[in-house]
Amino acid sequence: MGTELNQALVQQALSFAPEITEERQAVKVWEDGTVEFYLYAPTAETVEVAGVGGYFDAAPLALLPDGNGGFYRKIENFPRGMHYYHWFVDGVKLFHPKAGFSYGCFETINTFEVPERGAEFYYLKEVPHGTVHLAKYASGVNGHLKECYVYTPYGSQKDPSRRYPVLYLQHGVGENETGWIWQGKLNYIMDNLIAEHKCREMIVVMSCDYAFIEGEEAIFFPGDFDRELMEDLIPYVETHFPVKRGRNYRALAGLSLGPALAARSVCRHRDKFSALGMFSGVSLYDAERICTDEAEKPDVVFFSCGSREEEISRGIEDICKKMRESETLCVKKVYEGYHEWHVWRKSLRDFVPLLFCGAETVEETASACCMERRLDEKQLSVQSMEEQMLFFDPVHRQIRFETDAQGRPAGKYPKTIPGVKVCSDGTAEFYLEAPGAARVDVRLKEKHEILATLTEQQPGIWRGKIGGLSAGYHEVHFIVNGVETIHPEVPAGYAGYNEQGSFACNYFEIPEPEFCYPQLANVPHGMLHMEWYREEENGGYRLCYVYTPAGYEKHAKQRYPVLIVESFRWESECVWIHQGKIANMADRLIAEGKMTEMILVMQKCSKRKEARIPEEIIQKYRLIPGEEHRAMIKVQDGSDWTSRRHQLAEQLKNSFR
């Protein structure tokens, strides 16, 4: 029975390459499709797992006691694909801290992947790898600072004069801008297609669909994303990335909710997009308008769905007939499956080769970018407290599925309550929805002991508070019926402790009045970049993050010193980004003239005595040559994140001075 899975199948958003320990894995997957679940719960009577629909449905699967306080179950021929799922301990839904996580269903949720035979197009392969950029732009719709993920093909940084067409790609309801990378494996799909010469080189932009406006009750469409797309996102992309501008160089697509948003924008702006992709589109009204009105038609419209999505398939077929009658190039694909990611990955694989195949045309002039818009300080403070790896702009919502009189989706988004509320007096109030729980406790890492036992103030709703807390970062653990769980409504990070195991953790922030650098601010923002490289020590791939200061894209001849920042031994490569807030700190310090403009490389701790800059970084980024222009941050091991941030600020100020 083979156990070596491609890294694309085992990567996690919170830790690309988790440390292998002797500890029993929460979910172990074999190449032949066998899956074993495990949870240590010595006080529990029952432990179950259940999916959320599709091939892993919501019917609970009971795990078996192992006689040592654990529960396990091994299942052969488990359904293939990427699965969202839940754990249940004595009937109470929990989130396993030692299993993989993504953002889906409007929450931090456990996920795992079972390889599909013959479907290696989304694997991490030995091909040139593009870059995924994390870029911030201001929304004029709701005044939020938003983050988008932007894929650029390999080689784009070496030749800044070269320009590319761009695909704007939207996520589904309950997901966000992270979905197409961590669940969809978009960057690997694009790397492989480009390496095999199966599609044109292009840039792909993945943004967050939610443009909720305070006080407005959104019906299906989450605020006014069309206006944000046209007035904020596209202008930002066209002034910060090497894209070709004009209808023939733009395409728009999405999955589930995403196609409804995409079709609406294509209908409203026929002169701006040449192609439309609708993957499992749950609303086809605007797509039908494309073929029934007299306005300009897209060059290609692509429809897809799973074979078990029968209603969507029938609707697609009806529209395709009308489009063919109107001489619109229409492609329909049906893949085995439900409303699930393995269907949407294949949709992307088959859609992008159809794009940008027409003749070259004159480009449009660049749109004005509103990035310098000043944002509300209160909103920036909220985002500073809650931004994390799995989302940048917090969305405390759920979805209530409804339809209108014509049977079209018309669901609403009721608000949920954040899991932690910080008060001005240093008190933290905790909230957890856990119907059926007998007891809910809260523990802070630095205190070790239980600090609060929440009370069930109404059925299934548990509340409590802890006072006298110091300013700064606090790692918090929620324990339900004696078993630790991740709170899906509280920021999640990666806690690395020792050889006994590393796992996801919740955390919250209490602002430090005299130390504002970790907070988002109205200053020019640098950009983060995700880079994949081969590790010499074990031959596997590693991921590192690179920070470039604001203006890096515009000042094409300027070179920069580089500072290496490593995580500690059992931590992940992303901890300095989301728990250390290093990009926020660098943005502020540079804007205040207290830090030299430099490139930062954040990577996982290596076994070398001296950190090495990956060759891929040396080749892609404009570094000043010479060892005197390279340095490494040394932070005291074992210190808490509040202390580490203070140490970081001092070293950022003093480096290369």
For tokens 């950029």, what's the residue?
133
Average pLDDT over residues 390-408: 89
**Does position 372 have pLDDT exceeding 70, yes or no?**
no
Q: Is the pLDDT of residue 554 over 60?
A: yes
Question: Where in the chain do CATH 2.60.40.10 domains reside?
Answer: 7-114
SS3 string of 130-182? CEEEEEEEECCCCCCEEEEEEEECCCCCCCCCCCECEEEEECCCCCCCCHHHH
pLDDT above 70 for 367: no
In the chain, residues under CATH classification 3.40.50.1820 are 131-354, 527-654
Backbone phi, then psi, for 2, in 5-degree steps? Answer: -75, 145
| Strand partners of residue 36 | 28, 74
**Is residue 238 pLDDT above 90, yes or no?**
yes
Smallest CA-to-CA distance from 533 within 240, 147, 130, 133 is with 130
Beta carbons of 314 and 334 less than 8 angstroms apart: no
Q: pTM for the whole thing? A: 0.96
Q: What does the pLDDT read at residue 609? A: 61
Q: What angle do CA 592, 597, 598 make, to 5 degrees?
A: 140
pLDDT in tens, 106-129: 999 999 999 998 899 999 999 999
What is the structure's pLDDT at 65?
Answer: 97
Is it the case that residue 447 has pLDDT exceeding 60?
yes
254-296 tens-digit pLDDT: 999 999 999 999 999 999 999 999 999 988 888 888 877 777 8
In whole angstroms, give the CA distance from residue 177 to residue 214. 21
Can you read off the two tokens belonging to residue 95?
């989130």
Distance of CA 94 to the CA centre of its chain: 21
d(CA 207, CA 235): 13
> What pLDDT is stored for residue 168 in this prediction?
98
The whole-angstrom separation of Cα 421 and Cα 315 is 45
Q: Which pLDDT belongs to residue 216?
A: 86
Q: What is the pLDDT of residues 590-646, one digit of tens each?
A: 999 999 999 999 998 876 666 688 888 999 999 999 999 999 988 876 678 999 999
CATH number of 527-654: 3.40.50.1820
Superfamily of domain 131-354: Alpha/Beta hydrolase fold, catalytic domain (3.40.50.1820)
Give Dmax (Cα) for the chain: 71
pLDDT of residue 21: 65
Q: Confirm if 165 and 218 have CB atoms less than 8 A apart.
A: no
Asked if 527 contacts 134 with a C-beta cutoff of 8 angstroms, the reply is yes
CATH architecture observed for domain 7-114: Sandwich (2.60)
How far apart are the C-alpha atoms of 384 and 366, rounded to whole Å? Answer: 31
Is the pLDDT at 489 greater than 60? The verdict is yes
Q: What per-residue confidence (pLDDT) applies to 563?
A: 96
- The region of weakest confidence among 29-43, 110-124, 193-207, 391-405 is 391-405
Higher pLDDT, 368 or 459: 459
Q: For a pLDDT cut of 90, what percent of the chain falls above it?
A: 75
pLDDT at res. 323:
86
- In the predicted model, what is the mean pLDDT of the chain? 92
Q: How many whole angstroms separate alpha carbon 171 and alpha carbon 173? A: 7
DSSP for 97-119, written as a single string: TTS-EEEETTEEEEEEEEPPTT-
Q: How confident is the model at residue 1 (pLDDT cuts 50, 70, 90)?
A: very low
* Strand 101-104 with 166-170, pairing: unpaired
Return the top range by mean pLDDT from 115-119, 434-438, 568-572.
434-438
In whole angstroms, give the CA distance from residue 84 to residue 116: 16
Q: Is 371's pLDDT higher than 60?
A: no
Q: In the 3-class helix/strand/coil scheme, how is 244-257 assigned residue by residue? A: CCCHHHEEEEEECH
Residue 3: pLDDT over 90 = no
CA 29 from centre of chain? 23
60, with CB counted inside 10 A (0-12, 13-18, 19+), is middle
How high is the pLDDT of residue 634?
80
